[in-house]
């Protein structure tokens, strides 16, 4: 039995990463399917390790590397991204391969120097590279590509020219834990890639478009994309790149997304009536209760919806705490081109709708129509008004869908 077996993904190139089966929360983003941190070992006259893994998993990565070579033989460590899920085992590798050179972008150098002072950064042989720089390993050549704001300023990718293999770091990733390693071996991978995009890359559509143009300019036409999270793309490379273009362009369909929370059911009743009205106009409708659904999936649902209705009950003269949290998350991710409708209920004093309106205004989000709030509970005339609003929102969604 081979414990901690690496996987050869191309001749002489191995996956030596780890699967985080119990990951359910990636810095606040729900990951119900778990995750992985992918690092890769390229064996040539010189040996290169592409990225490392989250520090608690360093031992497992090193065991996998040890199945192929003595880790002391690693010549180069390519640090594509400073974030700790990829860089926090570099110092462990350097303990075993103290003469290894580390390669990072200029911003990567800055980030690594700030994060790893206590891990001896000052003694690292750190080499700064930029887009188009090449590093020969012998038979193979690594080319570096700065992927600025995909999703951090330091983000970089590494391309093996001879194999047409792109180590894309965070881009094209998905948070799934699986013993499979390739896109043709798992189901729903594009859906998982979409959830990942919605929560990690959504604010950076413009940069994604520039990056894909940059690849073309560099004559980078990958036949395999090996991200730092999830499975490796070999069967759907052009499909996922096309999908990234669609997401980056903000492609939408006739769809109304209704997001809400509720205390005693009044806001929920309003939400249900809005859904009914929108459904009757023949568009796709989705309903997401904030405490019963993953926000990461809600963001995926929001990506292709031109119209979003958000409802909140009033609590302590303001919006409900989940609405406040979700709106903070939403305005941070700042999806472009949406129209919003706000609604809610209150008992003795209002405040939820007003609070949401303030957040929308400061985020420069566009409201589709005047907000609606009801006192205590919706009666038949209120429900009818909600259905009519749902219908109007559906018409707006039809008018604004761009695909
Ligand atoms: Fe997978 Fe930005 O770290």
Domain range spanning residue 382?
A: 256-397
Which CA distances in Å does 83 have to 24, 79, 166, 228, 234?
A: 18, 10, 19, 11, 26
Residue 27 CA to ligand 1 centre (angstroms):
10
Spatial neighbors of 247 by CB under 8 A, at least 6 apart, are 194, 197, 198, 201, 202, 205, 208, 303
Examine the pLDDT at 103 and tell me if it is beyond 90: yes
Summarize pLDDT for 53-96 with one digit per residue, the tens.
Answer: 999 999 999 999 999 999 999 999 999 999 999 999 999 999 99
pLDDT tens profile 314-370? 999 999 999 999 999 999 999 999 999 999 999 998 999 999 999 999 999 999 999
Name the average pLDDT for the chain: 97
Q: What is the mean pLDDT of residues 213-235?
A: 98
Residues in the chain: 403
User: What value does the mean pLDDT take over residues 196-211?
Assistant: 97
**Residue 402 within any structural domain of the chain:** no
- Give the tens place of pLDDT for each residue, 178-192: 999 999 999 999 999
Domain end position, chosen among 228, 249, 270:
249
Could you tell me the two tokens for 322?
């989940």
Place 27 in a pLDDT band, splitting at 50, 70 and 90.
Answer: confident
Residue nearest atom 3 in ligand 1 by C-alpha distance: 83
Spatial contact of 253 and 402, defined as CB atoms under 8 Å apart: no
What are residue 126's DSSP bridge partners? Answer: 102
What ligand 1 atom has the least distance to the C-alpha of 169? 1
261 and 239 share one domain: no
- Say how far residue 102 (Cα) sits from the centre of its chain: 26
Give the pLDDT mean for 100-108.
Answer: 98
Instruction: Compute the distance from residue 212 Cα to the ligand 1 centre, in Å.
Output: 19
Tell me which of 215, 249, 283 is where a domain ends.
249
Please tell me whether residue 250 adopts helix, strand or coil conformation.
Answer: coil
pLDDT of residue 168 exceeding 70, the answer is yes
Domains identified in the chain, total number: 2
- Rounded CA gap, 205 and 335, in Å? 9
Q: Are residues 128 and 266 in the same domain?
A: no
Does 206 share its domain with 287?
Answer: no
Write down the catalytic residue from 44, 81, 159, 211.
Answer: 81
* CATH number of the domain where residue 310 is located: 3.40.50.360
Say what the pLDDT of residue 1 is.
60
Question: How far is Cα 84 from Cα 45, in angstroms, rounded to an integer?
Answer: 29
290, 355, 392, 395 from 365: Cα distances, Å: 20, 14, 19, 19
* CA-proximal residue: ligand 1, atom 1 (nearest): 170
Task: Check whether residue 160 and residue 71 sit in a common domain.
Answer: yes
Are 315 and 238 contained in the same domain? no
Would you call the peptide bond into 194 cis, given omega within 30 degrees of 0 as the criterion?
no
Cross-strand partners of 289 = 260
Q: Give ligand 1 pocket residues (Cβ under 6 A).
A: 81, 83, 85-86, 151-152, 170, 228-229
Indicate if 81 belongs to the active site. Answer: yes
Q: How far apart are CA 191 and CA 241, in angstroms?
A: 14
Indicate the DSSP class of residue 201: I
Q: Does the predicted model carry a pTM greater than 0.75?
A: yes
Q: Is the pLDDT of residue 171 over 90?
A: yes
Atom 2 (ligand 1): residue with closest C-alpha?
A: 83
Q: Among this protein's residues, is 346 annotated catalytic? A: no
Is 55 among the domain residues?
A: yes
Does the annotation count 184 as an active-site position?
A: no
Alpha helices in 250-312 (DSSP H): 266-280, 295-303
At CA 223, angle to CA 221 and CA 225, rounded to 5?
Answer: 95
pLDDT of residue 299 exceeding 90 = yes
Say how far apart CA 215 and CA 62 lie, in whole Å. 32
How many CB atoms within 10 Å of residue 93?
A: 22
Catalytic residue among 2, 3, 27, 219: 27
Q: Stretch 112-136: mean pLDDT, rounded?
A: 97
Instruction: Identify the domain boundary among 203, 228, 249.
Output: 249
The answer to whether residue 66 sits within a structural domain is: yes
**Which ligand 1 atom sits nearest the alpha carbon of residue 151?**
2
**Mean local confidence (pLDDT), 367-396:** 98
Residues 6+ apart with CB under 8 A from 216: none
Q: Are 183 and 189 in contact (CB under 8 A)?
A: yes
Looking at the structure, tell me whether residues 312 and 376 fall in a common domain: yes
Are 389 and 273 within one domain?
Answer: yes
State yes or no: pLDDT of 2 exceeds 80.
no
Query: Same domain, yes or no, for 192 and 94?
Result: yes
How does pLDDT run across 253-293, given as a tens digit for each residue? 999 999 999 999 999 999 999 999 999 999 999 999 999 99
Closest CA to 53 of 153, 169, 191, 156: 169
Q: Is 278 within a domain?
A: yes
Sign of the dihedral defined by the CA atoms of residues 367, 368, 370, 376, in that order: negative
The percentage of the chain sitting over the pLDDT mark of 90, rounded to a whole number, equals: 98
Strand 284-289 and strand 307-315: the pairing is unpaired
Q: What CATH number did the domain enclosing 222 receive?
A: 3.60.15.10
């Amino acid at each position: 039995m081979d414990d901690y077996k690496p996987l050869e993904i191309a001749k002489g190139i191995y996956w030596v990463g780890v699967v985080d089966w119990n990951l359910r929360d990636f810095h606040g983003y729900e990951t119900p399917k778990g995750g992985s941190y992918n690092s890769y070992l390229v064996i040539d006259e010189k040996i290169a390790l592409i990225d490392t893994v989250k520090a608690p998993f360093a031992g497992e990565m090193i065991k996998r590397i040890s199945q192929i070579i003595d880790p002391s033989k690693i010549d180069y460590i390519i640090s594509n991204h400073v974030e700790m899920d990829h860089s926090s085992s570099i110092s462990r590798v350097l303990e075993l391969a103290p003469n290894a050179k580390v390669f990072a972008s200029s911003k990567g150098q800055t980030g690594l120097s700030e994060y790893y002072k206590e891990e001896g950064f000052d003694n690292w042989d750190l080499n700064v590279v930029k887009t188009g720089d090449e590093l020969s390993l012998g038979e193979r050549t690594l080319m570096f590509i700065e992927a600025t704001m995909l999703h951090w300023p330091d983000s970089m990718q590494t391309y093996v020219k001879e194999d047409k293999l792109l180590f894309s770091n965070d881009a094209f990733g998905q948070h799934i834990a699986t013993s499979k390693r390739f896109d043709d071996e798992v189901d729903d991978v594009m859906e998982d890639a979409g959830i990942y995009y919605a929560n990690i890359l959504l604010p950076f559509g413009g940069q994604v478009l520039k990056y894909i143009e940059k690849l073309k300019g560099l004559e980078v036409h990958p036949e395999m994309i090996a991200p730092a999270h999830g499975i490796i793309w070999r069967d759907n490379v052009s499909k996922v790149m096309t999908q990234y273009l669609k997401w980056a362009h903000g492609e939408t369909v006739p769809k109304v997304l209704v997001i809400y929370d509720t205390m005693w059911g009044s806001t929920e009743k309003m939400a249900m009536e809005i859904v009914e009205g929108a459904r009757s106009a023949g568009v796709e409708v989705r309903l997401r209760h904030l405490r019963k659904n993953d926000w990461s999936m809600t963001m995926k649902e929001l990506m292709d919806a031109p119209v979003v209705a958000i409802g909140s009950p009033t609590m302590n003269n303001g919006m409900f705490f989940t609405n406040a949290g979700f709106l903070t998350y939403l305005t941070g991710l700042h999806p472009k081109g949406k129209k919003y409708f706000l609604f809610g209920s209150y008992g003795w004093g209002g405040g939820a709708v007003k609070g949401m309106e303030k957040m929308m205004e400061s985020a420069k989000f566009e409201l589709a129509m005047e907000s609606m709030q009801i006192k205590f509970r919706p009666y038949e005339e209120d429900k009818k008004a909600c259905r009519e609003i749902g219908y109007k929102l559906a018409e707006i969604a039809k008018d604004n869908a761009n695909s």
